[in-house]
Chain A
């Protein structure tokens, strides 16, 4: 087992036993669940919407070369720049060089998971540039020197009391935990940064091929300030965020909002196609789009798992995942957590250290049901396990155990005999009062759970009896 896998298991055990953490997480996700339940009836046919999204993303991803070139041409025609980054290092270097060349001292950044993926903030800070995360949740975790906890709700793990204490320490807040006042404190702290920054960096929710625009979604409007006021706007995105037509957003915007937060649409859905055009009042003088590959083209080559690139990063699969709901976001130690992270992370460059993540799933399928673009997530988790086992080493004991299990399962008599033996042994052990003790054959289970009731008869015996009775 790799050291990353061991650390994951250690942290997972610790976090699942941290009841305060679980309560905070639970309260957040309960709010989310309630919002989704209220919001879903806005769709006449949610399943038809998922199918349509799947078809549109399929079209975009399976003709990605053509759409990327179309997008690039249109951005350039408006005087924007498009940079193709093969690796995280390429993207970091392009953006830091651009900032240094322009004498940038302050950057206002709105939410971008790709910026996290390439570790952009530390690279800019190394050049003496101050970076302000302007999404409230990201601003909070930045003050705590933490990565975002969740791709949509970065400070999901914190209570308002913790945030109040943080603001008091770092921003001179008065320690009151009224969310309205806390938001006002953050707004004041960031206002100055917005008006003095020379560069705004944003993520991208959709790349629109036919109009050469990037679509950016926020509720707070921080992206709006960051793309209106600074002199340079850099939009950073994975190559896969493509949709073919502007009109496709008539479906994708509501689907994203409904799955992400239970809103009908998010407050601000901006479309930006270039720098300020002649005759326009304001806007940046320079507009740069950084298209990041970083392993995505390798994933594209896997036809079986290609639709992992259909993801619109709504976060629904995280919220419904029993594993995420227990261990939380930071435990994954990955930019993208939850089911989508577990299938995506191993494919990104340097992704081998995340090969244990596809195994951290019960394969219950809740993620697949929740996905608004119909990614077959739980089967991909299984495919990924198969690929990892095929490619890598797995212990002799595991191989032998599975061979033995297969041999038992392939013979009805063997299966019945072992079932009988198991029941008899457990009844004997529990008769002797060994339940939960180290001598309990089910010790691994019963040290934290009550033992199951041991039936007298096998399922097959019961079935036979009932059918003979009918």
Chain B
């Protein structure tokens, strides 16, 4: 083990020194070979940043490393951005949906919501305990979990607080900050039913507690019926191990339900006859209405869509053709239809859905648009396979009320409006 680490360290050093040699050689060549300086040369060379030749077809490209973990182009700059909460440990970062194409979120841009920072866990030492109302309390290593027959599912995870700033007035400028707490990955793991069956669930069991191994020991109660139906314990994300911030080495996936139930750094499942009424499911992730009553266990993320381009802070390059595109998703099933309006919801046109259209998954929609250069308000409205129609904000407020500036905080799935000014500038507005 220690020997492996030593070898790894050597390898890194070797690669770095090779690269330095190569760059020195390139720099020497550049004087007479027409390689233009870009001003990026000051950026540390080990950061995947390379000198840019005037014509890439006239010089050799940079060499293929014997071993590497690839990086995106040095010209791509989109990043997650953190909402400035009181501490950077209990905080969230948001996915730049405006630059996303397709339906899958790159793992490094998947939104984060953590309640006690990102836990660092050695998978060789991590255990998953299953106990409570079971015949045999069990513990599993990560290797044990990986031995079970596996499954994969491409699905979205959305924080139920997505859009919490937008209840009473348009607040954030970009779709990253209005909608960026949703992301889609391919998740790979083992059905939770398989693992529960190893311990043998006893009669009378109705709920289970899922607990994370982070500083918050994040806990949520989940109905046993849901656990047996389609929950799974994931160890893979987009073809590799789950990212640390997504719960490495094990994360509970609860398809269609609010993100905080997808317990990261999963270490324990306790089977019970009743919910545990943890802090997160009583004082936090409940939806307080103006009546003083709060809706509890509002698990499902309802159908929602948003136009990601054009979206807030973009400027259209003049009248003419523009593709309106965005994503739609539902925790209750697949997206059946998306309509787009350019006049603030007075008239609607059917958008094309790009395949694959999967249940509980981001679905990409597109609509061609010839902008006439006049003011417009762009909206998208989705319908899922249960027939549920995404509401306007006015409709949602009629049911949920406006209880303080943040409304009832969670589960805002209303239609989003983007205003296009005559100069092409796009801004976040309320129009309902």
Chain B binds chain A: no
